[in-house]
Structure 1
């Protein structure tokens, strides 16, 4: 028997959008505050790296268990737990007094975010009917994506008016709104057949993915032949192999690889991961270029990324109708080709180019991301039965996070290697030459100290060359992804068929728990 949708669902969606917006800009907002934070807390370069990376590592590693916990104990309940953990981490991080405690606060934030993101997505099918789900998913996904370029804008403004701890406190009101909305607006849903959480599988998932992300993140800085990097990657292979072997014998695994047997889920998930890889590469490269080569401050850099946000907003409104009319097999490869065009256009950048050229290809990148990610995620989640929404969305978001981490690491290594090879340090004292080769920022500091304008020009040219190589790699990856999705993604009819059984699944296959009055 059909039921009318909850009239309060759009209010609930607004609160979920606010939470996802926080998660989006929390990934980039700290980059603005890090120099001031490091100066006040006395953080060395290694501690600064872990302050930035700890959030991503924990976030990626815990998302798969988070989805299973939602299936087992209730998605509303675990979403509330995630919001509470995120709120505690934000309050703690605002008032810490040492680098180690900042890392601890970021770990807490990552744990909370890992619960929030997949479970916020997994409650959408219980709130919205099929004809509205694409719009709801678009709003939630757009909020997360919009948060990335908003991070430098918000962080820059806060640092102009408050102390560095304000980049943590800004989370508090939005998260509090999300908690209130979950308490009063969201129904409880769970999978009644879900078994107890397998602690061994959960431990293998967390440690394996943490080792993978840590190794990939440390590769560019320490070198890919570093014993620490090789050890982390080897441990990741061993742990994740052990996990897959264990999960193949489990009735309800944490890492539910069986979900990938569904063609619609598999190829839409791959498309979402590849779009994330390409866009993360762009987001990694552009702020460095705007700040170091074009001389913008953090706030100005955030403002100059607005064209990408504009393209994303327009595309997010049009992606659903286009996918409905032409099918994901047309729209997603087309979006990847737009991303490829943006990256290839950006790869023609020269050191003397102004901002107008950058704004052009940033706008294209926003269009490509908006047209690609929303149909891909909707197609992936729509292919799942509702009782697997938690574990499926956890797998989807984990693969996106890992793809983003790999994109940053690979492209960062490419830029660093090219910069060191092309920087002209002839005539400099050995110590100064060694310091200048560390990064374009370090080269500019050495040039300012020595009054060497030629070194600054060489640093700009060397960085731009590395950036062009990274963007070229992004463009090639996007073209390859477009070819794969065009060949293997289910067409319009196949996609619809994949989603259909999920909606037609009998009521006893899932449980909607009546929500008691919250007092």
Structure 2
């Protein structure tokens, strides 16, 4: 057992903070955080709607589309730990504004990209900016709000991301119907400008001068390990799981992540503070939030090609038909606080995960001939379950930590969430790619046409249109829906497993003391 940590210098705060007489300006400060999170929520869904268009115009297969989406998540996850420390040491507001500026640069690069490699590079830059935005925005909340207000503040932050979700597809679809696909990156610019102004004028500066320095080697191990893991999972179906590149990268991922854990355990104040996971409340709330993101990210990846290609909707129609999910999320987010007061977090989080499991398993029964009504039903259930699970899981996880560990704890929580999201996207994309390739019938097609149709369902539709081949069209739709059903089955099973784990192991936080007081996460009780 490591010795108890030395007394910590409390974080310095300039601006509104919670206490016996909380400053009413804290709600204006929350507005800056909400604006920052709106940027991330908006960007996530607007890109998903654009993927089918990008596949056609950039001649990108399923693997390339996975990397366009996953490159952002990998960099996002790998850099959040050092981002949290940078905010603790140099100022969370300052680093948050820096993150928004980096996100702005990546958006401009994506706007004028001409090929998939440039888009992937731009997404990496955006991921670096998001790594600063997300954990620092979350880390400010415990400094501003006490336990009685934290759930409401967390609901506002989650609601901002939820509000961005319906706006993203709708605005993205409108842009794609009238402009080129790069406009979905350009639209970020005014939002980022608004977020920067809100942070500069409304958000207080908070620091923790005693926080550990950024560990460059640990950061390199995290980036390399996560990148190798996602590469191996993404390339496995196409190259074969026993192929040397896939086996080599998965082995490298295991080695690098192991070295990261070993290095962290040997440091007195590591960047990856695994001691925090000894606290049952933080651990199981983090597990719940991470598996929620695994499920949701997989759903968001598989859905737009189905709506836009299989059901034949245009970009705006695709965005419009994704609205039941964020609408359900907004609905459940309003009910979360009363349910928490009445029932406590364990049944609410577990129930939300169970609803997500039911929704995904319902979605896995989709047939190529089904209409949109069935999709709208299970999509709305996904949103309801997500809203019930993610808000209390995030709030309770942060609530277990003392305020001077907010930056590191938020960074670890959000890192694990994004790692889970990246793996979920890679797993679902790989399942779809493998099933689509196996099920697609290209017999009788010229070799060039067969290769083109095998890249993606969007490419198959384009090829079928050129050849006037209705059989190829039906085969491509059936193959994609089969892959989507497999992916949704995995998402549903993951959410169900998470619900069972939460029911079995998540402690009842109503019996623990206020997290703003001394919580000995460094001790054996943690």
2:321 to 304, 310, 325: 304
Residues 449, 200 of structure 1: alpha-carbon distance in 2 compared, 3 angstrom cutoff: same
Report deviation, 1:275: 1.1
Aligned partner of residue 4 in structure 1, secondary structure: coil
TM-score (norm 2): 0.88
Q: How does 1:21-170 map to 2 (within 5 A)?
A: 21-33=38-50, 50-95=67-112, 100-148=117-165, 150-170=167-187
Q: Counterparts of 1:36 and 1:404 in 2: how far apart (Å)?
A: 23
Task: Give the equivalent residue in structure 1 for 2:210.
Answer: 193
Task: Give the equivalent residue in structure 1 for 2:522.
Answer: none
Report deviation, 1:387: 0.9
Residues 47, 208 of structure 1: alpha-carbon distance in 2 compared, 3 angstrom cutoff: same
1:503 to 505, 516, 525: 516
Q: Counterparts of 2:179 and 2:106 in 1: how far apart (Å)?
A: 19
Task: Give the equivalent residue in structure 2 for 1:230.
Answer: 247
Aligned partner of residue 206 in structure 2, secondary structure: strand
Task: Give the equivalent residue in structure 2 for 1:270.
Answer: 287
CA distances 1:79-130 after superposition (whole Å, capped 9, x unpaired) = 1221222223334443456655444432221111100000000001122222
Task: Give the equivalent residue in structure 2 for 1:334.
Answer: 351
Does residue 345 of the first structure (1) align with residue 362 of the second (2)? yes
Q: Counterparts of 1:308 and 1:489 in 2: how far apart (Å)?
A: 27
- Contact 1:219/1:409, CA 8 A, preserved across alignment: no
Residues 235, 387 of structure 1: alpha-carbon distance in 2 compared, 3 angstrom cutoff: same
CA distances 1:179-238 after superposition (whole Å, capped 9, x unpaired) = 222222222222232232222222222332233334334444544344433333222221
- Contact 2:49/2:304, CA 8 A, preserved across alignment: no
Q: Counterparts of 1:207 and 1:253 in 2: how far apart (Å)?
A: 18
Residues 181, 170 of structure 1: alpha-carbon distance in 2 compared, 3 angstrom cutoff: same
CA distances 1:379-421 after superposition (whole Å, capped 9, x unpaired) = 1011111111111111111111111121122222222222233
Residues 177, 301 of structure 1: alpha-carbon distance in 2 compared, 3 angstrom cutoff: same
Report deviation, 1:344: 1.6
The runs of 5 or more residues in structure 1 that have no matched partner are 507-519
Question: How many pairs does the alignment contain?
Answer: 502
Task: Give the equivalent residue in structure 2 for 1:288.
Answer: 305
Aligned partner of residue 87 in structure 1, secondary structure: helix
CA distances 1:461-481 after superposition (whole Å, capped 9, x unpaired) = 222222222222222222221
Task: Give the equivalent residue in structure 1 for 2:335.
Answer: 318
Aligned partner of residue 27 in structure 1, secondary structure: helix
Task: Give the equivalent residue in structure 1 for 2:15.
Answer: none
- Contact 1:205/1:255, CA 8 A, preserved across alignment: no
Task: Give the equivalent residue in structure 2 for 1:416.
Answer: 433
Aligned partner of residue 437 in structure 1, secondary structure: helix
Q: Counterparts of 1:440 and 1:161 in 2: how far apart (Å)?
A: 23
TM-score (norm 1): 0.89
Residues 406, 145 of structure 1: alpha-carbon distance in 2 compared, 3 angstrom cutoff: farther
Aligned partner of residue 267 in structure 2, secondary structure: coil
Report deviation, 1:365: 0.8
Q: Counterparts of 2:131 and 2:33 in 1: how far apart (Å)?
A: 14
Does residue 215 of the first structure (1) align with residue 200 of the second (2)? no
Task: Give the equivalent residue in structure 2 for 1:513.
Answer: none
Residues 35, 370 of structure 1: alpha-carbon distance in 2 compared, 3 angstrom cutoff: closer
Report deviation, 1:362: 0.7
Task: Give the equivalent residue in structure 2 for 1:509.
Answer: none
Q: Counterparts of 1:7 and 1:432 in 2: how far apart (Å)?
A: 64
1:457 to 441, 465, 474: 474
Q: Counterparts of 1:483 and 1:236 in 2: how far apart (Å)?
A: 29
Aligned partner of residue 189 in structure 1, secondary structure: strand
2:220 to 203, 206, 231: 203
CA distances 1:347-398 after superposition (whole Å, capped 9, x unpaired) = 2221111111111111111111100111111110111111111111111111
Q: Counterparts of 1:34 and 1:372 in 2: how far apart (Å)?
A: 28
- Contact 1:22/1:171, CA 8 A, preserved across alignment: yes
Task: Give the equivalent residue in structure 2 for 1:370.
Answer: 387
